[in-house]
């Protein structure tokens, strides 16, 4: 770039302020779509009421409250589900539209566009999470110190990172929401099950227990349960490292899928 | 001349189709240029190159001397694409406000709403707008950044005649503030109503360019066709108003801007003819003529 004079630069536009506006617009748009909001907010509570609550009042052989254990797992499950479905479907449906094409002609930066999608999805996911935690603690009698709740939220935010990258990848591979949605269902439910988010791994076959450490949701679930006081045999840092590794791997896939889409439609 | 937009020997191929072939053009700052051509002529590809939505296989595109993909270039352009849609669950005002924030010196949202005639729809959901209203919203988005160059790709393609005229008035009002406008259209009437200069493209190539009057003289005429066994082309010499004439077996084709005058002359000379027809200057046909007459 030469240093040619910019004869009219009346005010610099702060990318952060655009990021804020863009995030607000994305969030407003999704909150007005009942088809996206209702399942997002209801599914985690339904799962809790059907599968978590019936066992919540028990105490495990090692002495901790089973309800606490389940709520830790379900917090991770809820977060992954919201981010995976909402982000992937948002991207896969939007990139075929004139709006996506139009935005590329504006000064809006690509990273701001993605950042806003991520932030708005995370906001929605946090809303679903808070509802789940409130319902869970009230109905299941799960009482934790405030710091543990905060620690749980922070850990599931870390645990969902690989899935945010995976959602971008799926959003760019799938042609439209009708393809993205079944793909995610196929991946998500078996994976959540095999990661020990629905049933503790100790109750699953040996082969599943052996596979679990190779799944990102396993590490997220482990971290989430540590936050609520479930003892972990391995160091937490192993789980953190694995999550970051999966994030990097999925990011590479996502960037490649994005570039291929760019090459097909914008070169 | 201060150049706002230029294509330098630009080519773009999609698979086996060469959409744009060695096109060079310049649009001066403050100029209003229409790119006119039939469907599939390469208009949208040409404008995509200028916008940086596509990059040329060969040659280059510049906006104020910069790569159109740079933020500095994008700060200065406003765009209305052919099938732009907007997020269905945002209100008209919200979408315009959002886009305004992308630009360094935007117009007030209220002003953009006025310019597009959408004041009474400001609080409507985008999904509730009619086709014509959606086009107007896209126009509002294209101007709200207060751009120096406005690109309009087939802006009135789906509009009825009345809506089209209303749109022309809005564009003319915007252009009065010294803005550069590049529009594509397949309506000669639209190019004539808005542009100072018309560039005609067909099959990816520029086949003619000039003032609206000059272009109308070449593509705006009528085709007079008839059969005659006795007539020769030489016998038609001296009839005023015939731009081009041709004879294939016994069928004569005369291209003219004044068919009445030409026919009067033919009948006055008592020339013997049959199967007379006068056809409107279909652009499609005129473009073919332009292309072949160049070859």
Residue-wise pLDDT tens digits, B163-172 = 888 889 889 8
- Determine how many CB atoms are found less than 10 A away from the CB of residue A59: 10
Whole-number CA gyration radius for chain A: 20
**CB contact A16 to B (< 8 Å):** no
Domain ranges in chain A are 17-265
| Chain A residues whose beta carbon lies within 8 Å of the beta carbon of residue B83 | 98
Alpha carbon A165 to its chain centroid, in Å, reads: 9
Whether residues A102 and B104 touch (CB distance < 8 A) is answered with no
pLDDT category, B107, cuts 50, 70, 90? very high
Whether residues B101 and A267 touch (CB distance < 8 A) is answered with no
- CA angle (A192, A196, A199) in 5-degree steps: 105
Mutation site for B-interface testing, chosen from A89, A102, A109 by largest number of B Cβ within 10 Å: A102
Does the predicted model carry a pTM greater than 0.90? no
Min CA distance, B38 vs chain A (Å)? 22
| Chain B residues whose beta carbon lies within 8 Å of the beta carbon of residue A13 | 101-104
Q: What is the ipTM of this complex?
A: 0.87
Q: Which of A11, A17, A29 sits opposite B105 (nearest CB)?
A: A11
Strands B149-153 and B180-185: parallel
CA-closest candidate to residue A216, choices A194, A242, A251, A235: A242
CA-closest candidate to residue A89, choices A165, A192, A177: A177
**CB contact A99 to B (< 8 Å):** yes
Residue B243: phi and psi, rounded to 5, are: -80, -45
- Among chain B residues, the shortest Cα distance to A23 is held by B98
Mutation site for A-interface testing, chosen from B19, B53, B123, B155 by largest number of A Cβ within 10 Å: B53
Q: Which two tokens stand for residue B196?
A: 């100072």
Q: What is the pLDDT of residues B230-282, one digit of tens each?
A: 888 888 888 887 877 888 888 888 888 788 888 888 888 877 888 998 876 55
Helices marked H in A141-160:
146-159
Mean residue pLDDT of chain B comes to 87
pLDDT score at B245: 82
Q: What is the pLDDT of residues A144-168, one digit of tens each?
A: 899 999 999 999 999 999 999 999 9
Q: Which two tokens stand for residue B243?
A: 């731009």
Residue A77 to residues A96, A143, A221, B23: CA-CA distances in angstroms? 29, 20, 8, 55
Using the predicted structure, report yes or no on whether residue B51 has a pLDDT greater than 90.
Answer: yes
Residue B18: phi and psi, rounded to 5, are: -90, 100
Using the predicted structure, report yes or no on whether residue A8 has a pLDDT greater than 70.
Answer: no
Give the Cα separation of A71 and A217 in Å (integer): 15
Mean residue pLDDT of chain A comes to 89
Q: What is the pLDDT of residues A57-74, one digit of tens each?
A: 777 766 677 888 899 999
pLDDT category, A6, cuts 50, 70, 90? very low
Using the predicted structure, report yes or no on whether residue A47 has a pLDDT greater than 70.
Answer: yes
Q: What is the pLDDT of residues A187-226, one digit of tens each?
A: 998 999 899 888 888 888 999 999 999 999 999 999 999 9
**CB contact A266 to B (< 8 Å):** yes
């Amino acid at each position: 770039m030469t240093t040619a004079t910019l004869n009219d630069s009346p005010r610099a536009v702060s990318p952060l302020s655009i990021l804020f506006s863009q995030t607000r617009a994305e969030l407003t748009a999704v909150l007005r779509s009942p088809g996206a909001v209702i399942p997002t907010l209801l599914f985690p509570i339904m799962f809790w009421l059907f599968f978590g609550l019936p066992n919540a009042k028990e105490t495990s052989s090692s002495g901790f409250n089973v309800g606490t254990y389940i709520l830790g797992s379900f917090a991770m499950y809820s977060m992954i589900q919201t981010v995976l479905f909402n982000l992937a479907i948002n991207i896969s449906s939007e990139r075929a539209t004139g709006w996506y094409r139009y935005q590329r002609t504006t000064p809006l930066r690509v990273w701001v566009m993605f950042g806003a999608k991520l932030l708005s999805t995370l906001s929605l996911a946090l809303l679903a999470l808070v509802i789940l935690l409130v319902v869970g603690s009230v109905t299941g009698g799960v009482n934790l110190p405030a710091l543990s709740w905060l620690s749980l939220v922070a850990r599931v935010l870390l645990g969902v990172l690989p899935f945010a990258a995976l959602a971008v990848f799926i959003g760019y591979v799938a042609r439209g929401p009708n393809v993205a949605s079944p793909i995610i269902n196929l991946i998500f439910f078996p994976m959540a099950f095999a990661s020990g988010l629905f049933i503790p791994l100790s109750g699953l076959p040996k082969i599943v227990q052996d596979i679990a450490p190779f799944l990102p949701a396993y590490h997220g679930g482990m971290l989430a349960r540590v936050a609520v006081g479930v003892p972990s045999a391995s160091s937490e840092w192993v789980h953190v490292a694995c999550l970051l590794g999966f994030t990097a791997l999925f990011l590479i896939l996502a960037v490649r899928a994005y570039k291929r889409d760019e090459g097909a439609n914008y070169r | 001349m201060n150049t706002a937009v230029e294509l330098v020997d630009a080519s773009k191929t999609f698979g086996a189709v060469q959409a744009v072939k060695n096109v060079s053009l310049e649009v001066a700052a403050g100029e209003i240029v229409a790119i006119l051509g039939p469907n599939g002529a390469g208009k949208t590809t040409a404008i995509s190159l200028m916008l940086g939505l596509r990059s040329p296989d060969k040659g280059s595109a510049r906006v104020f001397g910069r790569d159109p993909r740079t933020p500095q270039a994008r700060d200065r352009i406003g765009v209305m694409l052919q099938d732009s849609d907007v997020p269905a669950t945002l209100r008209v005002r919200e979408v315009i406000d959002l886009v305004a924030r992308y630009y360094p010196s935007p117009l007030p949202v209220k002003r953009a709403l006025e310019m597009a005639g959408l004041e009474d729809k400001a609080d409507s959901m985008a999904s509730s707008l009619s086709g014509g209203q959606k086009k107007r919203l896209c126009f509002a988005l294209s101007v709200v950044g207060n751009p120096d160059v406005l690109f309009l790709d087939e802006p009135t393609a789906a509009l009825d005649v009345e809506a089209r005229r209303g749109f022309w008035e809005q564009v003319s009002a915007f252009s009065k503030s010294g803005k550069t406008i590049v529009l594509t259209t397949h309506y000669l009437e639209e190019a004539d109503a808005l542009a100072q200069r018309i560039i005609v493209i067909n099959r990816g190539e520029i086949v003619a360019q000039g003032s609206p009057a000059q272009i109308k003289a070449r593509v705006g005429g009528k085709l007079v066709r008839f059969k005659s066994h006795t007539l020769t082309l030489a016998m038609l010499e001296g009839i005023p108003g015939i731009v081009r004439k041709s004879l294939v077996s016994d069928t004569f084709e005369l291209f003219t801007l004044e068919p009445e005058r030409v026919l009067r002359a033919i009948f006055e000379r008592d020339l013997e003819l049959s199967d007379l027809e006068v056809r409107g200057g279909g652009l499609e046909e005129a473009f073919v003529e332009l292309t072949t007459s160049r070859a």
